[in-house]
Structure 1
Amino acid sequence: MTTAKPDPAKIDFSTVTWEKSPFSGGNNNCVEFGQIGDDLVAIRDSKRPEQAPLIYTRGEIGALLLGAKAGCFDHLA
């Protein structure tokens, strides 16, 4: 079953607990992740928390993390 993604403009993000990687180094090159309910994950730019985050399903985030762990995106860093 696919989770329908809500319009980010209609979500109250004030209750989201945002997390960032401990590898970000504190140099403002950070993205933050926050869980929304049981099935969705929001991603935002830590420098622009007022902008609407991007919304992904847990399956999409899982595929991203598997690809990152496998080195699929190393050429982008």
Structure 2
Amino acid sequence: MDYRNGMPAESIARVWVKSRASAQVGQCVELADAGSGRVAFRNSTDPQGPALLFTPGEFAAFLHGAKDGDFDHLLKI
């Protein structure tokens, strides 16, 4: 299937997973293997909403930045 950014996440026929650290009320991001190394993201509270797809390089850069604390200033908990 040719998945694309902004398509309804429910139309991505993959297994969606979320972090074990996510809230039990479902307020989290879910990820799925979209094939060819791509990773799809969706909002768990809106599984029919749009999905964002990232290339392997984009996803690796995101994970590296998250692990290094590059986004910690956005955390408002």
Tell me the TM-score normalized by structure 2: 0.79
* Paired position in structure 2 for 1:20: 18
Over 3 Å counting, the alpha-carbon distance change for 1:6 and 1:69 in structure 2 is: same
> Counterpart of 1:46 in structure 2: which amino acid?
S
Q: Which has the higher contact order (CA 8 A, sep 6+)?
A: 2
How much has 1:28 moved relative to structure 2?
Answer: 2.6
Unaligned runs of 5+ in 2: none
Give the distance between the partners of 2:56 and 2:24, measured in 1 at CA: 26
* Paired position in structure 1 for 2:33: 35
Displaced runs of 4 or more, over 4 A: none
Over 3 Å counting, the alpha-carbon distance change for 1:70 and 1:41 in structure 2 is: same
Tell me the TM-score normalized by structure 1: 0.79
Query: Aligned residue pairs: how many?
Result: 72
Taking only the aligned residue pairs, the percentage that are identical comes to 38
